[in-house]
């Protein structure tokens, strides 16, 4: 069997750089372990496959009908693009908020085959739920950064997969902790760490334990009249993170309407975008403070979107706040937004990288109308103000604490120069 062409995989539409690649040694170890087991693709679930390295390598090796869950919209699109590039078949399935079957790519390896569950083709995207996991005998997992996310995943596997399911989780040794073993031990009687290889390590969990009547997530917390709901994979959980709190405090003191006090011609209310919404704290807080506003909240994380939708419902603003699973607001038209609220990430996976913030600044520049306003909060050491001025327009400091800076950028009329 020829070696899988990992080097042909791309991260697109995620940030691409010389020091960022679309696979790592953990992906290879998970693929090798899966191929060593006599478990068909139809009984296999892959969770956390960032760009498709695990799923597509297994498909290439003849494992078809695999079910896949990726949290990030960028990862889902990268998987589809890499599948198309390599000529691997894609099964119909749920993929984010589209509500339509995933586009089928011409198969080269699985023509006419069926996985026995009616899925057909090579792999099928899905959400973290019973439909994804029912009947699964092997679950391959790239360990998430968050212990809360790991707890939610482990509980889901124990709750919905086959009684004899084996969960094989892997990660880079430098990012692994004994706490991960302890979390897995809450859902599985047997948790065994394997010998490290190529600076990665696998953990094998088996003998699923009985689950509680209700899943451990989502969780809920109250914050001065704001109810936050969070799934395990949502940044900061049900807490109100410091950066968001600083931005909310600054917004309370600032006029945030479209520059000049006007909104788009014919619009009944200003259109406000919470870009990278997380649990929806900014979007819901804005909607509660400005009943006339139309708010869109968007995030590339499926866990964040599920959390934000629950937060919107819990605060009674579902008639004014729409939450979408999207990458950098790609579904919004150009020049369609009056105000953007942004608390950008400064990590890509386990690496500190400002590329993620730059993509969101560029997205804000695209969706803002001329004269529209971007409010951004960021770690002061990152000094984003020159970049915001270049990409958006005139940028002024609104607030500064010992750790965070809040800026107000006004979208210039002409297109920003690259």
The residue out of 208, 241, 266 marking a domain boundary is: 208
List the helix and strand counts (H, then E) for the chain. Answer: 11, 18
Residue 78 located in a structural domain: yes
Q: What is the pLDDT at residue 354?
A: 56
**Does residue 379 lie in a domain region?**
yes
Q: Provide the whole-model pTM.
A: 0.88
| 231 & 186 share domain | no
Instruction: Please give the full DSSP string across 335-385, using - where no structure is assigned.
Output: T-EEEEEE----EETTEE-THHHHHHHHHHHHHEEEEEEEEEEEEGGG--H
Q: Please give the residue range of the domain that contains residue 105.
A: 6-208
Give yes or no: residues 202 and 243 share one domain: no
Boundary (domain end) residue, out of 139, 173, 208: 208
Are residue 25 and residue 78 in the same domain, yes or no?
yes
Say if residue 270 is in the same domain as residue 131: no
φ/ψ (deg, to 5) at 28: -65, -40
Contact at 8 Å (CB) between 307 and 234?
yes
223 and 203 in one domain?
A: no
The answer to whether 202 and 175 have CB atoms below 8 angstroms apart is no
417 inside domain: no
Q: Give the pLDDT of residue 101.
A: 32
Q: What is the 3-state secondary structure (H, E, C) of 190-211?
A: EEEECCCECCEEEEEEEEECCC
Q: For residues 171 and 242, state if they share a domain.
A: no
Pair (200, 232) in one structural domain: no
pLDDT of residue 253: 73
**Which helix or strand (DSSP H or E) is residue 88 part of?**
none
Given a cut of 70, the residues of the chain with pLDDT beneath it are 1-2, 89-120, 254-268, 346-354, 415-418
Task: Kindly report, residue by residue over 74-84, the tens digit of the pLDDT.
Answer: 999 999 999 99
User: Mean pLDDT across the chain, nearest whole number?
Assistant: 88
pLDDT at 268 (0 to 100):
62
Count of structural domains within the chain: 2
Beta bridge partners of 287: none
Cα-trace Rg, the chain: 22
pLDDT of residue 15: 84
In Å, what is the CA distance from 2 to each residue of 6, 61, 176? 12, 9, 32
160 and 267: one domain? Answer: no
Pairing of strands 44-47, 138-142: parallel
**Together in a domain, 251 and 374:** yes
DSSP secondary structure letter of residue 17: B
In a domain, 415, yes or no: no
In a domain, residue 416? The reply is no
Query: What pLDDT, on a 0 to 100 scale, did the predictor assign at position 14?
Result: 87
Instruction: Please indicate, yes or no, if residue 247 is contained in any of the structural domains.
Output: yes
pLDDT at 267: 52
pLDDT of residue 88: 86
Q: In what order do the strands lie in the sheet with 271-275?
A: 321-325, 294-299, 271-275, 337-342, 368-379, 404-410, 395-400
Is the residue at 418 inside a domain?
no
pLDDT of the residue at 269: 83
**Residue finishing a domain among 157, 179, 208:** 208
Write the CATH number for 98: 3.40.50.150
My answer on whether 305 and 158 are in the same domain is: no
Distance of CA 186 to the CA centre of its chain: 25
Asked whether residue 60 falls in the same domain as residue 169, the answer is yes
pLDDT per position as a tens digit, 391-410: 999 999 999 999 999 999 99
Are residues 180 and 223 part of one domain? no
Q: Is residue 143 part of a domain?
A: yes
């Amino acid at each position: 069997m020829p070696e899988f062409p990992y080097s042909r995989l791309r991260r697109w539409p995620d940030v691409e750089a010389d020091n960022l690649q679309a696979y790592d040694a953990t992906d290879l170890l998970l693929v090798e372990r899966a191929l060593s087991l006599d478990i068909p693709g139809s009984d296999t679930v892959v969770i956390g496959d960032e760009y498709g390295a695990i799923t597509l390598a297994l498909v290439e090796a003849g494992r078809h009908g695999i079910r896949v869950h990726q949290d990030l919209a960028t990862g889902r699109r990268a998987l589809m693009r890499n599948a198309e590039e390599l000529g691997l078949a894609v099964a119909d399935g749920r993929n984010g908020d589209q509500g339509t079957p995933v586009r089928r790519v011409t198969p080269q390896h699985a023509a006419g085959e069926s996985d026995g569950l009616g899925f057909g083709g090579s792999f099928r995207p899905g959400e973290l739920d019973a439909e994804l996991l029912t009947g699964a005998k092997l679950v391959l997992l790239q360990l998430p950064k968050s212990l809360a996310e790991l707890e939610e995943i482990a509980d889901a596997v124990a709750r919905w997969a086959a009684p004899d399911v084996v969960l094989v989780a892997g990660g880079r040794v430098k990012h692994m902790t004994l706490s991960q073993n302890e979390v897995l031990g809450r859902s599985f009687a047997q948790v065994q760490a394997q010998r490290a290889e190529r600076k990665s390590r696998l953990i094998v969990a088996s003998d699923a334990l009985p689950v509680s009547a209700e899943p451990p997530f989502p969780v809920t917390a109250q914050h001065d009249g704001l109810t936050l709901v969070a799934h395990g994979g949502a940044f900061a959980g049900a807490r109100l993170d410091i950066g968001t709190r600083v931005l909310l405090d600054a917004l309370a003191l600032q006029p945030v309407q479209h520059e000049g006090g006007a909104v788009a011609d014919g619009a009944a209310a200003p259109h406000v975008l919470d870009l990278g919404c997380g649990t929806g704290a900014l979007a819901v807080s804005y909607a509660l403070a400005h009943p006339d506003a139309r708010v869109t909240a968007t995030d590339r994380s499926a866990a964040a979107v599920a959390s934000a939708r629950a937060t919107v419902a819990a605060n009674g603003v579902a008639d004014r706040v729409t939450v979408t699973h999207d990458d950098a607001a790609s579904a919004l038209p150009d020049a369609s937004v009056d105000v953007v609220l942004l608390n950008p990430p400064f990590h890509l996976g386990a690496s500190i990288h400002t590329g993620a913030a730059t993509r969101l600044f560029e997205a804000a520049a695209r969706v803002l109308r001329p004269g529209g306003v971007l409010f951004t909060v960021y770690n002061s050491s990152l000094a984003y103000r020159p970049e915001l001025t270049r990409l958006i327009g005139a940028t002024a400091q609104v607030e500064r604490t010992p750790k965070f800076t809040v800026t107000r950028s006004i979208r210039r009329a002409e297109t920003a120069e690259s």
